[in-house]
Amino acid sequence: MTTEDRQSELVHVSIFATWAEAEVAKGLLEANGIAAALVPQDELLFGTGSGGRRKVRILVREEDVEDARNLIGGDVQNPRSLAEIFKFTQQELNAGQSTDGIVEELVAQGWPEDWARRHVADRARQRSAGRRGEPTDPRVYVRRMGRGFASILVGVLLTVATFEMAQAAGIGMYIVWWGAILWGLVDFIAGLVGWLRHR
């Protein structure tokens, strides 16, 4: 069975604004025995100006749709809905409540402890990164590393090309493309640090 065949058997149940939130929802579904897959809504809509924020669809098997929607749907009648848990966790973090205290409260409400720990840790990390204005999607940093590497490569290739031209013409001067090399190095290192922090 191909990946395309497996995806065609899955049904869309929800959409989230960020990959991090979708990962939390997927973890909740899996903690409750529901297999789930995450798929970017539309790669074409998100350019470099998106700041790493992509809408993400959650897909489950057709027989799990109702249970999945009960768990992660935004139904106000369901006190255990994921939207309310996100809101509750954010309010508690903003109020200065310890992460262990929030986890204990979620477990007391019936949420699986391993999921609660992951959820609270992700929200705390996301909150911390949000205060610094950093995107939390690790793919943003992978792209930044790629852009930095490309800049370094272009700088080195241009330097080598001017050196070869200078040698061929018998001129003792050539251009070292320091700007491209240094900018690329800074971009690559910043991307690497961000990726290590948010992977």
Q: Within this chain, do residues 127 and 151 fall inside the same structural domain, yes or no? A: no
Average confidence (pLDDT) over 106-135: 75
Maximum average pLDDT range among 73-77, 89-93, 135-139: 89-93
Split into its structural domains, the chain has a count of 2
Q: Within this chain, do residues 42 and 124 fall inside the same structural domain, yes or no? A: yes
Q: Within this chain, do residues 114 and 148 fall inside the same structural domain, yes or no? A: no
CB atoms within 10 A of CB 34: 20
Quote the pLDDT of residue 64. Answer: 87
Q: Within this chain, do residues 42 and 104 fall inside the same structural domain, yes or no? A: yes
- Interhelix angle 65-72/19-31, rounded to 10 degrees, is 120
Quote the pLDDT of residue 81. Answer: 61
Q: Which domain holds residue 190?
A: 138-198
Q: Within this chain, do residues 142 and 128 fall inside the same structural domain, yes or no? A: no
Q: Within this chain, do residues 8 and 33 fall inside the same structural domain, yes or no? A: yes
Token couple for 124:
């705390």
Q: Within this chain, do residues 13 and 109 fall inside the same structural domain, yes or no? A: yes
Between residues 125 and 188, the one the model is more confident about: 188
Give the closest residue to 83 by CA, choosing from 95, 92, 74. Answer: 74
Q: Within this chain, do residues 74 and 167 fall inside the same structural domain, yes or no? A: no
